[in-house]
Structure formats: structure tokens, C-alpha cells
Structure 1
Amino acid sequence: MRMRAGWRERQLDGPTSGRNAGTSRLKLPYEWQIGWRYTRAGKRTSGNGFISFIAMVSMAGIALGVAALIVVLSVMNGFQKEVRDRMLSVLAHVEVFSPSGSMPDWHLTAQEARRNPEVRGVAPYVDAQALLNRGTTMSGVMLRGVDPTLEPQVSDIGKEMRVGNMSDLKPGSFGIVLGAALASAVGVTAGDTVMLLVPQGRMTPAGMLPRQKRFTVVGVFESGHFEYDSALAVINIQDAQTLLSLEAPSGIRIRLADMQRAPQVAYALSRSLSGDLYIRDWTKQNRNWFSAVQIEKRMMFIILTLIIAVAAFNLVSSLVMTVTDKQADIAILRTLGAQPRSIMKIFFVQGVTVGFIGTSLGVILGSVIALNIPVVVPMIERLFQVQFLPPSIYFISELPSDLEVADVTRIGLIAFGLSALATLYPSWRAARVKPAEALRYE
């Protein structure tokens, strides 16, 4: 027993005595040195390779969980950004309109809006609901009247034309531009004629009849957002006013330098614009969709965090086994004067080191994969002869990815925090080891 105890004492004192090469370690508390030694120890010092294997599994589990969470959230961010950008290629960042449905002084309102430094473009518009008829096919549409010369300032429809050009919407010609899915559903292309019916009717001896007008299809656009490609019809703003019997546009549409600041800019405009006006930004127009995406992202974050938690709490089993294996060492340290708090620090350092290494490896692996999704996914598709995103269904052929530093930081902190939490019980148990009982059978 005396020889065994003396050997362990020399083993514990080894790093801080003898050679000058180890003098730099004197700057660190002995709890840190012993904790790191236990982390690096394998069969050579622990006497039980299974303990090291469990620690490596815990480290690998944390790394894989962190990497999976980073990749999944990056892909979800990419999808959200892709859909948002396609949506805002059709929508304006901010809309200002009159409750009466007509804004005669829209030039004054546009001039006041341009005084805001965030505003980059302003254009008038007319909005209405209508029915599009072609033969026996009828479809409800969102009718929008625009000024072809000003519309490029607030939307990208002109850049998304598959057939024709926005400049073909000349006043009085009653031309119409349809979304690609809508044109396909109705069965028309450029040069065909369609009948447009609006609910604003006129009184006749036979009763109230809806207004209707024949339009010529002059173009087809494809934004990539199915909701608008299948329901949006664009005509000249003067033709819209004639069809709807309006004296002026419904309002103005505004594009900003930074679309993320749309709510703040909308609030600022509500205080600076004159007149009784309604103001809404793009986040309010699509509140349900964005709320659903945020809930889905939050739930996915929680589910994948549980995977990290399971891997982190594997540290409990490995540290408990380490404490059991090192009871004689703990007893010697206690007899040499080590306090229970110091014993806790030793095993806390060991567990936190494993958690830190696992988290760091996961962050590096997840970030590398997320940044190379456009390369990794096609390689997997070619390898297994599959296609994850058929363009006919999803309207995109590549898996998008948008790695956000805030997400990576939050994931790393949570994983490291769970690892540190998992070390508390084994460390507390080590501090409660009684030297006399531990050395009884040594």
C-alpha cells in the first residue's frame, strides 16, 4: 500500500518538479494541470480504456450535434432568404395608400417620402381583385396597375419577364402581363386576348353588371414565387383607373435601401407624411408566412438541441467512471491537504475540456459544410443518383444556405453550457470521496 501510494504521489507531482521544461506549468493551478492530464490520459494512466472510449464518444456526439444544428439552421435561413427575395421582387418594401381607395395628391406624398434617406424608389399603383376569363377557364387574379416607367424603381418584374417587356404596357392599349403559372393555367401566351372582369359594376335595366374589358397579353413574368406567379396580373395604371373608374392611383409603393428596416421606416413615414394615410410594410403583408417560418425554425432548434444535450450528458457517465477509477488519487490529494473545492475543479476542468473540444470541432465542421452546401449536395445527388429539389415542384434546383454568425455563436454557447452543466454532479461526487475508505483496499 505504501509503495502504491508513493508511486501515485510521485505521478501527481511529476509535472511540477524535476526538469526546467515543466517550470512554465507552475503558473497554472495544480487543479488545471491534473484535470488536463486526466483528459489526455488513456490506458497508460487510467487503467481502463473503456473510460476514454466513452469520453471520445461524448466528444464526437457533441461535435456531430453542433454540426447538424448549424447545417440545418443555415439551410432554413437560406430557404427563408430565397423565398423572401423572390417575394420582394414582386412586392414593395412599404406601401402607402388612402382609406378612400384613391390618392389624388400622390405626387406630394411621393415627394415627402423621398425626403427619408432610406427611400430609394417611389411609384404609384392601383390594386384590385378581378376575374380572368379565357374561353371556359376562369381564374381569380390580383390586379395591379403600374406606371411602366416608374415600376422598375420598386420591383423587379421587368427583370423577370420571360416573354415581352414591361414597356409594352402602353396607356390605352389595354395590354396585360401575367404570371407564368397563371398564363399556363389559363392557356395563353403573348398575343392572345383575355377578358377581365372587376366587381365595380354598372347599373343596367337588367340589374348590376360587373365591368369587363378585353385585354391583350403582352408579356409573361416568372418571379419564382408560386403565389404571385399564379395569381398576379399587371396592367398600365391608366388602364386600371379607366377600368375601375378611379380618378387617381390607390397609393404609392416604396423601395428602401435596407429592406430589414422596413418596420422602422414605415413608422417614421407615418409621422412625417401629411394626410390621412395607411402605411404597411412587407413584414405585415406576409405576417402569417413569416410567423410560420420562425416557429418552424424555433422548433427545429429545440429538437436538435436535445441531440446535443444527450451527447453532453454522456459526459456524466464517463466522468462518474473516471471518479470511481481515480478514488485512490483523490484520497492521496485529500491527505496532502487538497480541499473538496479543488477536487471539484479537477474533474470540472476535465469535463469542460471535453465539451470545449467537441463544441469547437462541431462549429468548424458545421460551418465548413454550411458554406459548401452548393458543392456538397450536388456531389451527394450524383453519388446516389437522387434529386432533392425537383425544379417542377420547388421552383429552385439548388439547396440554399445562409450561415449566420449569430446562430453559430448561440449554438456554440448552448453546447458548451450543457457540457459544463453535465460535469457538476460527477465533480460534486468526487469531492465527497472519503480518503480512509478509498485507501482501505489499496
Structure 2
Amino acid sequence: MLDRLPFLVGLRYVRAKRRNHFISFISLTSMLGLMLGVAVLILVLSVMNGFDHELRTRILGMVPHTKIESTEGLVEWEALAGRLTQRERVIGAAPYVEQQGMFSAGGRNQGAMVNGIDPDWEDQVSIIGQHMRQGSLNDLVPGEWNVVLGSMLARQLGVGVGDYVTLLVPEASITPAGVFPRLKRFTVSGIFSVGADLDANLAYANISDMQTLARLGDAVGGLRLELDDLFIAGSETQDIVNELGPGYRGTDWTFSHGNLFQAIQMEKRMIALLLTVIIAVAAFNIVSTLVMVVTDKRADIAILRTIGATPRSIMGIFIVQGLAIGLIGIAIGVAVGILLALTVSDLISWFEATFGIQFLDAGVYFISDLPSQLQWDDVRDIVLAAFGLTFLSTLYPAWRAARVQPADVLRYE
């Protein structure tokens, strides 16, 4: 019977109504604090995981993992692409010609990066084909000077499919009449949308047309490579350049978006640390609750000691009581946090549609919707951390309870 004493008495103390309502209020506050801390931590980490996932799948699905270029341009690029795709970590290759320029239409101007691509090769290294809102990459036929614009870029220029845009490139043409900037009129044949900042500053044209515009002849600007693991891009790029020898250079995605990825990872760690403080504060409230309960139950402790309860059993009573309070708060927090993590994207979308408010501007936050990805490893770590803090919070009050001397208490009863 005495072996079950800590559980029976500890759980009874949790359910019992107390004469001191302040103790009940502190217990409720502790429980709500744990619930709030756990729920918010699960939600925030899920949103950060969502940002991380969107960065990998959307932005890094459009941005090349690795680019291999030559100082004189690549002429026999097909042979080089076949050679590089034989490497174990390279799963795709595609040629490109990049040209920074400014689009103009109807008096509106907007800068953008124009990628000259081969539609037959592009699917190996990019997800652009999966995000066409209008038109198709196959409409980029050589000699027709068609262009595919990002949705935000098209909206800023006020154009749609079938409209004309003029591309001004930062190179001059010398004519008998003087020096003029190089201009070329394109027909908008498609619009894509990935829900990221790339929608505002990226366009695609046929690689043959861009070779003509850039005066490259049969050469291309370089090869874009897709790797099986984007986190090895740096070392793999260096290995490829070393293998190809002088005259070749390579860059990887970390040069353009590495800082963003590192910022998300750092923010996730810092936010987790800060929100854990909420759990720690709630756990500290359990210390206050149990200390007051020990003071309130000194007579009960003395009686239990006189009938044979050991100091260890007395400690167990208050550890069980504190853990019960903590586990209830943690369980409710986990349930609420998981529910919010699974529905926050839909809730934000409904709120934006109902009130006409946009929370995330893709031009600022890289994506236009609030992503959320629940990871059970995070839930496990949060529960273990909260349980650990709760357990530590019960030790001091339980130790004080075990030190109560029956003779000193019962002398005045």
C-alpha cells in the first residue's frame, strides 16, 4: 500500500478543492502557461519548417544548384552535359543564357533577369514547367521571340499573354546615327507563378533567341546542374571545376540564397530558445504552487510520517502532483499546437480572403502564403523539454516536504 501512496495521494491533491484559492489560481496559471508555451512553440517551429521547405522546393527548385561556365562560353555544351551527368551526384543538366535587362510596356519599366532556356532540357533542372499559370514553355519557339514572365512582373508591367514587351539590355549598339541601347520586342506567350520573389524579377525566353541577342553565336552562357543533395553543392562544384581544368568556373546556390537559408535556420533556433523561456516560467510557477501546498499540508505530511511513510514517499507525493499539473498542460498544449500547425495556412488564407489583407508580400518575404510543416521530431523534443523542466521544478518543493519533522508539526496541533 505504501508503494502506491505517492500516486494515490499526489493525484488526490491535484483533484482536491483547496481552502486557499490562491494556490488553485497559481496551479491553473502554471497549467495554462505550459499549454501556451508548448502550443506556440509547436506552431512557430512548424511555420519555420514550412519556410525552410518552401525555400528548398520553390526557390531552390527554380534557382540552379550549380552553374558551370566558361570564360569564352560553352560551344560543345551537349557533350559536356553528358559528361557531367555521368557523375554520381549530378541528376540533371541544362544549358542557359542569362541576360539582365529592363522590360518596358505601356510606359511602365521593370528590371528582370531573362533566362534563355531550351524547353526540352529545362525540366531536368527546374520546376518552372509545373508552375505555368498560362501558356507553356513549349511556346518558346526559336525565332518567334516569345517570353514567359513571372506573375508579379507581368502585373507590374500591366501585360498578359499576347501582349508585347520591349527588352532593353545594358549593351550599346554603334550605328551611323550614333550609339543606341540594344532593344528587342518580345511577345508574352506565358505567365508562371511560384509564389516567391522570383515571380517579380525573372523571365524566360528561348535560348536560341537569347544567343542572338547576346551575340554568342553557337555558344551558351553555361550549364545549370541539378544535384541529388543541394547541401553538397559547394564541394561538388569545386570538384567539377577542378576536373574540367583552367578556363572553367562554377557557382552554387549558396551565393544567391545561402544567406536566406542560414537566416531561417538561425531564426528557428533563436525562436525555439526564446519560446522555451515561456515553458520555463510556467514550470517555475509549479515550484511556487508546490511550495505553498507543502506549507498548507504540513499536518498531513506529519500524519503520513507517523503511520510509516518514508521521506522518499513524501517526496514522491509532491513530484506526482507537480508532474500531473505539468502533463495536463503539456497534453493540452500539444493538441492545440498540432491543430494550429495543421490549419494555420488555411486560417490565414481565409482571413486574407475575408478581410482583403495580405500578410506576406512575396517581394519582401520570398513567398506569398504562410507555410506550415509539422515535424513529429520537433513535437517530441518540445514534449521532452517541457517534461524535463516540469520534473526539475518539482524537486525542491518535494525535498522541503520530505524534511518536515512530524514532532515539530504535531506539537501545536
Q: Which residue of structure 1 lines up, in the alignment, with residue 376 of structure 2?
A: 405
- Pairing 1:275–2:234 present: no
Q: Aligned partners of 2:239, 2:378: CA distance in 1, in Å?
A: 35
Checking the alignment, whether the CA contact within 8 Å between 1:263 and 1:283 is kept in structure 2 is no
- Pairing 1:75–2:47 present: yes
For 2:381, give the aligned amino acid: R
Q: Which residue of structure 2 lines up, in the alignment, with residue 238 of structure 1?
A: 208
SS at match of 2:204: strand
Checking the alignment, whether the CA contact within 8 Å between 2:41 and 2:382 is kept in structure 1 is yes
2:404 to 433, 438, 442: 433
Q: Aligned partners of 1:164, 1:45: CA distance in 2, in Å?
A: 69
Q: Which residue of structure 1 lines up, in the alignment, with residue 186 of structure 2?
A: 216
Checking the alignment, whether the CA contact within 8 Å between 1:113 and 1:269 is kept in structure 2 is no
Q: CA deviation at 1:142?
A: 0.7
Q: How does 1:338-417 map to 2 (within 5 A)?
A: 340=311, 343-373=314-344, 386=355, 389=358, 399-417=370-388
Per-residue CA deviations over 1:331-363 (Å, capped at 9, x if unaligned) read 355567766555444423332333233223322
SS at match of 1:254: strand
Q: Aligned partners of 1:233, 1:376: CA distance in 2, in Å?
A: 32
Unaligned runs of 5+ in 1: 1-14, 17-28
**Root-mean-square deviation (CA), in Å?**
3.5
Q: Aligned partners of 2:30, 2:150: CA distance in 1, in Å?
A: 53
Checking the alignment, whether the CA contact within 8 Å between 1:161 and 1:219 is kept in structure 2 is no
Per-residue CA deviations over 1:191-247 (Å, capped at 9, x if unaligned) read 44333232344556787654x242321423232435222221222112222222225
Per-residue CA deviations over 1:48-78 (Å, capped at 9, x if unaligned) read 5654554344223312321222123223433
CA distance 1:112–1:333, shift in 2 (3 Å): farther
- Pairing 1:121–2:89 present: no
Q: Aligned partners of 1:319, 1:136: CA distance in 2, in Å?
A: 72
Q: Which residue of structure 1 lines up, in the alignment, with residue 285 of structure 2?
A: 314
Q: Aligned partners of 1:90, 1:268: CA distance in 2, in Å?
A: 19
Per-residue CA deviations over 1:86-115 (Å, capped at 9, x if unaligned) read 3244323x1222252623343343223322
1:147 to 99, 115, 118: 118
Q: Which residue of structure 2 lines up, in the alignment, with residue 8 of structure 1?
A: none
SS at match of 1:369: helix
Checking the alignment, whether the CA contact within 8 Å between 1:42 and 1:52 is kept in structure 2 is no
CA distance 1:43–1:96, shift in 2 (3 Å): closer
Q: CA deviation at 1:403?
A: 0.4
Q: Aligned partners of 1:160, 1:376: CA distance in 2, in Å?
A: 24
CA distance 1:101–1:80, shift in 2 (3 Å): farther
Q: Aligned partners of 1:43, 1:216: CA distance in 2, in Å?
A: 75
Per-residue CA deviations over 1:259-306 (Å, capped at 9, x if unaligned) read xx2122552353256314444443442123223333443443334323
Seq. identity, %: 45
For 1:270, give the aligned amino acid: Q
Checking the alignment, whether the CA contact within 8 Å between 1:224 and 1:395 is kept in structure 2 is no
Between the two proteins, the alignment pairs up a number of residues equal to 407
- Pairing 1:86–2:58 present: yes
Q: Aligned partners of 1:370, 1:174: CA distance in 2, in Å?
A: 46
Q: Which residue of structure 2 lines up, in the alignment, with residue 65 of structure 1?
A: 37
Q: Which residue of structure 2 lines up, in the alignment, with residue 21 of structure 1?
A: none
CA distance 1:297–1:53, shift in 2 (3 Å): same
Checking the alignment, whether the CA contact within 8 Å between 2:93 and 2:124 is kept in structure 1 is yes
CA distance 1:437–1:386, shift in 2 (3 Å): farther
Checking the alignment, whether the CA contact within 8 Å between 1:86 and 1:224 is kept in structure 2 is yes
Q: Which residue of structure 2 lines up, in the alignment, with residue 183 of structure 1?
A: 154
CA distance 1:79–1:158, shift in 2 (3 Å): same
- Pairing 1:229–2:182 present: no
Checking the alignment, whether the CA contact within 8 Å between 1:169 and 1:218 is kept in structure 2 is no
- Pairing 1:297–2:265 present: no
SS at match of 1:230: helix
Q: Which residue of structure 1 lines up, in the alignment, with residue 81 of structure 2?
A: 110
Q: Which residue of structure 2 lines up, in the alignment, with residue 26 of structure 1?
A: none
Q: Which residue of structure 2 lines up, in the alignment, with residue 9 of structure 1?
A: none
Unaligned runs of 5+ in 2: none
For 1:417, give the aligned amino acid: G
Q: Which residue of structure 1 lines up, in the alignment, with residue 137 of structure 2?
A: 166
Checking the alignment, whether the CA contact within 8 Å between 2:151 and 2:199 is kept in structure 1 is yes
Per-residue CA deviations over 1:166-207 (Å, capped at 9, x if unaligned) read 222222333222222222323333344333232344556787
Checking the alignment, whether the CA contact within 8 Å between 2:237 and 2:252 is kept in structure 1 is no
